[in-house]
Chain A
């Protein structure tokens, strides 16, 4: 788990110092006109927000930021799961790697029991 924590630290830094710079230009948030700012469709994210009965109104910016946060979350959890796969000397991410990552990383505690 120390390797996972170390890997986690390395991945966090990469994200914090503009990890998007390594991503293809089309997907990085840029000021170029027409550049795609979000890969996830906002309509689907809005449907998820709408599923919460306590939510009345949601601004477009909020929907966008949630979409972008979901993308970052997918990147983060994939990288953490890959750390677990590496420990098992595998190059294919399995479901158990994801379960191990959820167990190891405190920030993913909200996912426990929700993916079954």
Chain B
């Protein structure tokens, strides 16, 4: 792969192989709202660099880029990005803009189980951004395989939980820009029923299964790969169990007097393994919750700051003196450089005792009493 500069090339080569023919168009900031292009980049400088453009052509680009870039343009006012000059560059294989709009509408899936990101939630207060969610979904599909993805009917919720959450992110190697299916146990149940009706995993065909399942948004590629995995899982246990029998140091049949102890030892060791694994999992869950809380707090701080800027001191009610104190504090913290936030003298401490109780202490108590209560409440739930 060619690359714009050495560093970029290096990173590219080390990531997993991706292939897709994706073409970029960018639009000027004026036409941002009116033209619906599948992919938007901001700096013409980037795209002019043919090497980089080549690189982009050869790799998958997720809808992510679209949104994150739109965010740049939206929320940082003093960002130099805004001054960059956007140019229209026609892409070759992709159809007219009008088609994309239709595809976008058809491809939007509901997120019953909240798997696909809720774009509207992410893009706050940006009217321009509202138009992006529709575009975002099919960025990865804007190339030749789009015809196979064009669904004749819009995607409503399938009966029961067999809804197919399709994520906008692009697919793995081999499959070119097909939406990645996120399977659920319920969907798998439907799959198995269909397979059993067709006489089992060996005789069932992807086409037959697809037809029987009657799940909107499910394609034959999804079924095919799932069936393959299913077959592998069914027939793997036999060879591995034979393997284990050979590996076993003391075959149970041969040493009746020692079996009991050995198998008991093994069982106890397995029990210990379970303890370690359970603990790891427990800690991971706690860590994840903490991480989410931390970001929630950061978001809250930012929101507070913005509110204060917009509506002035009256927003916060009772004592304006309190606000005068906290305002410079907040101004210092939530300024354009979040690095200042990080060198805050009294960081919010989150403590874990041995019983895993959590306390969130903050010295911004005056400005966010409700938030603290909320955090405390949710943290006690965790323990």
A in complex with B: no
